[in-house]
Amino acid sequence: MRILLAGDLHLGRSSSSVRGDCAGHRAADVWQRLVDLAIEQGIGAVILSGDLVDQSNRYFEATGPLANGLQRLAAQEISTIAVAGNHDYHVLPGLAQQYADEKHRFTLLGQGGNWECHPVVRGGQTVFRVVGWSFPAESHDRDPLDAFPANLPDDLPVLGLVHGDLDARGSRYAPLSGAALRAKPVAGWLLGHIHAPHCDSQAGAPWLLYPGSPQALDPGEQGAHGVWVAEVTPTVITPPVQVALSSVRYEGVTVNADSVADAQELRVRLRDRLRAEAETARQAGGESLRQLVVDLVIEGAAALAAREVDQVMEELREARELDTAVAVEVRKTDNRVVPPLDLEGLARGRALPGILARLVLDLEAGRNSEAVERVRARARRAVNDLTFMSQVREGDSESTFQLSDDALRQSLIKAARKLLGSLEPTGAADAGGGLP
């Protein structure tokens, strides 16, 4: 028997940052593709790890597509088993009551935050069991495994089903311990809550699967998205394999512009790279993929004016057709191109160019020199000052400027290189002071 595993459908939502009509890019659309796949491949049961419905204000948008899909599955004698997540804890129990009949064959496990073990029957015989736990409220700050049943039947494979935050101590969304999950007497765990697909399979321990959102919903959900299929035997549930179903794929693409001679050469290099990315996405995404949305970074040292690079990137953002295997949309660009500099040579000087060159070399090499620490500390203070001023201006204590360590490092490198490029070089013997 084969089973289909998915979660975080978020019916009611659509993929964001996609130009034009969202038709085909809705969570409801991927749900129908999921149902099609289950029927075509003779799936025995569909297992869902919560957040089927996005939010209460989208509840009515979700009920029609959900019911239709359940009916189509039930007509093929395919049962659907689910748990509730933090987004649908208040909606799914009511739907489960509506759909608990032969017409829908829908079962919601673990209502009220109580573990429940359920047999999955095919052809009149129990094939495996699912033990599941549902969110009892919008948040839950304790590990659900604290109340895991002590004695589970061991005559058939068992699949664990829970929506929660893996190894995220202090989380408000059912913090789960990976070590505790692997210690339970189950064949594998289907988890929900995290939208990035990931399967962790270790010898001698249950596999752990975050199936991710079947439809990539925003630019933070990069890579291939879809559902997962596993095989159930009398003794084991095999580690699942992903089947791509998302109509949209988000990717971050970095192109090196080193030694590019002019804007036309840069234009060709970028278009060639986007065509290659589109082909790779097509091969991984299958027939469902229609749109590749790219956040484009251009970096490196090239004798190009910033305005030339910006112009080429603007052309790409406005392009409607790039003659690619799937449609490509450049959502955002980041120009990190800097003038070609002899950093090693400049670094031998003692004047300002030498100081800046040494700083850039340390930053690019990841060395925490005294100069780097001083500049980083000043930059962090500047970010904190911006946060404070924003809070004063907006009257919002939650208003903050978020800047990761890597983003700060890249910003400092770009600023220092730009300043170096604007300075007239001075001799290595020139006297100079330290950083201000």
pLDDT, position 398:
45
428 CB-near residues (< 8 Å, 6+ apart): 348, 349, 350, 354
Q: How far apart are CA 383 and CA 310, in angstroms?
A: 26
Same domain, 233 and 276: no
Q: Which of 310, 340, 370 is the last residue of a domain?
A: 340
- Read off the pLDDT of residues 194-230 as tens digits, 9 standing for 90 and up: 999 999 998 889 999 999 999 999 999 999 999 999 9
Q: Which of 186, 210, 245 is the last residue of a domain?
A: 245
In the structure, what pLDDT confidence band is assigned to residue 389 with cuts at 50, 70 and 90?
Answer: low
Q: How far apart are CA 34 and CA 182, in angstroms?
A: 28
State yes or no: pLDDT of 397 exceeds 60. Answer: no
One-letter amino acid at 351 equals A
**Per-residue three-class SS string for the chain:** CEEEEECCCCECCECCCCCCCCCCCEHHHHHHHHHHHHHHCCCCEEEECCCCECCHHHHHHHHHHHHHHHHHHHHCCCEEEECCCCCCCCCHHHHHHHHCCCCCCEEECCHHHCCEEEEEEECCEEEEEEEEECCCCCCECCCHHHHCCCCCCCCCCEEEEEECEECCCCCCECEECHHHHHCCCCCEEEEECCCCCEEECCCCCCEEEECCCCCCCCCCCECCCEEEEEEECCCCECCCEEEECCCEEEEEEEEECCCCCCHHHHHHHHHHHHHHHHHHHHHHHHHHCCEEEEEEEEEEECCCCHHHHHHHHHHHHHCCCCCCCCEEEEEEEEEEEECCCCHHHHCCCCCHHHHHHHHHHHHHHCCCCHHHHHHHHHHHHHHHHHHHHHHHHHCCCCCCCCCCHHHHHHHHHHHHHHHHHHCCCCCCCCCCCCCC
How many domains are there within the chain? 3
Same domain, 42 and 161: yes
Same domain, 274 and 315: yes
Same domain, 260 and 400: no
Q: Tell me which range, 337-341, 365-369, 383-387, is most confidently predicted by mean pLDDT.
A: 365-369
- Read off the pLDDT of residues 156-165 as tens digits, 9 standing for 90 and up: 999 999 999 9
Helix axes 27-40, 59-75, angle to 10 degrees: 10
90 CB-near residues (< 8 Å, 6+ apart): 56, 138
Same domain, 274 and 390: no
Same domain, 238 and 268: no
Same domain, 158 and 62: yes
pLDDT, position 204:
86
47 CB-near residues (< 8 Å, 6+ apart): 3, 4, 5, 6, 80, 81, 82, 130, 159, 161, 190
Same domain, 314 and 264: yes
State yes or no: pLDDT of 152 exceeds 50. Answer: yes
Same domain, 359 and 429: yes
Same domain, 290 and 332: yes
pLDDT, position 429:
39
- Read off the pLDDT of residues 292-319 as tens digits, 9 standing for 90 and up: 999 999 998 888 888 999 999 999 888 7
Express as a percent the part of the chain with pLDDT over 70: 92
Q: How far apart are CA 71 and CA 48, in angstroms?
A: 16
Please state which of the ranges 14-28, 30-44, 114-128, 196-210 shows the lowest mean pLDDT: 14-28
Same domain, 18 and 118: yes
- Read off the pLDDT of residues 2-13 as tens digits, 9 standing for 90 and up: 999 999 999 989
CATH of the domain at 18: 3.60.21.10
- Read off the pLDDT of residues 37-91 as tens digits, 9 standing for 90 and up: 999 999 999 999 999 998 755 667 788 999 999 999 999 999 999 999 999 999 8
Q: How far apart are CA 195 and CA 199, in angstroms?
A: 12
- Which structural domain range is residue 401 located in? 342-436
- Read off the pLDDT of residues 245-264 as tens digits, 9 standing for 90 and up: 999 999 999 999 988 989 99
pLDDT, position 432:
43
Pairing of strands 207-210, 198-200: antiparallel
Q: Which of 296, 320, 340 is the last residue of a domain?
A: 340
Same domain, 313 and 355: no
